[in-house]
Structure 1
Amino acid sequence: MTFWTDGTYGVQAPLTDEAVREAEALLGVRLPEALLDLLRVQNGGTVADEWSAFPTTEPTSWAPDHVPFDSLMGIGTAEGTLSLLDTPYLVEEWGLPSPVVLLTGDGHTWIALDYREPGEPSVVWLDAEDESELQLAPDLGTFLTGLVPGNSFD
């Protein structure tokens, strides 16, 4: 099973070490190796259905028992495509907490790496509409292993 679906939507140019260094400098953080491993296979795009949701223990504005994870932003400047590099602008635009790195979202809701505490960033759900947040996982590796098929929910 592959993490990515076929297709080019949201896909950036192949990831280079230089692009990673530039992104980390722009964002002011060190990106988790688990994220970079995924982006080296495919630099952003649509996530396969098998990994398209994360179960929650609390209800969110999205659903009573999960949040969607249908895409993952890459690192790059492909026209018409959001990227991790857009995080500073999007955080300001939507009034989100900082420092975070946005992984996916639609403006109203986001899944992000949360760098507000020292150490490995946790993964959080941010809702700009109701100004709420929910920690999803203590780190990206735990988040990724917790992903399930989106169609496993009603």
Structure 2
Amino acid sequence: MTLPADFDAQHFWADSAYATEAHTEPAPSNELIARVEADLGYRLPAFYVALMRVRNGGIPVHTCFPTTEATSWADDHIAITSISGIGYEKLYSLCGGLGSQFMIDQWEYPAIGVVVADCPSAGHDLVMLDYRACGPQGEPAVVHVDQESDYKITWLAPDFETFVRGLMPEPGFE
């Protein structure tokens, strides 16, 4: 899949030395994608893979996503600090040292899918691809999981593309 023509991936990402150093891996090859999917046990969404081929992980320009219910972060939204890249090298990549499986094994997040975005709480909440309804080969929903509220799961979007397109600038929220 290629990204839809109406999605501007070049302006989606914030440019900074920190983002590049801490989050961005080289563009993923088909072999790397297959290896990461095998290690995680889930097929990654096509839109996610296409976005990572443009920039493999980093910090988006817009970091807030509106919610219809309160979370520990805010009454009307969640915030993210980064989106994980496909790989093993960077600490926050899907299979990096603080990647998806680490958060499930060590921080006891529910084994419902793949941790795909970090939040500003230093690990106390995060965003996951939720495969419970679709199975490991399906198109996952996107959810917020809040460790501070007994791992409460808040539904965010029906798929990763909707989640990414729904990210909004921080000044729109308190």
TM-score normalized with structure 1 length: 0.91
Contact kept in structure 2, 1:98 and 1:115, CA below 8 Å: no
Distance 1:147 1:58 in 2: 16
Shift of 1:115: 0.9
RMSD: 1.4
Number of matched residues? Answer: 151
For 2:145, which of 111, 114, 126 is the aligned residue? 126
Deviations 1:35-63 (A, max 9, x none): 01110001101111xx2110001010001
Matches within 5 A, 1:3-152: 3-7=12-16, 8=20, 9-48=22-61, 51-79=62-90, 81-85=91-95, 86-105=99-118, 106-118=122-134, 119-131=138-150, 132-152=152-172
Percent identical residues: 40
TM-score normalized with structure 2 length: 0.81
Unaligned runs of 5+ in 1: none
Shift of 1:76: 1.8
Unaligned runs of 5+ in 2: 1-7
SS of residue paired to 2:74: coil
Shift of 1:88: 1.5
Contact kept in structure 1, 2:88 and 2:94, CA below 8 Å: no
Contact kept in structure 2, 1:53 and 1:70, CA below 8 Å: no
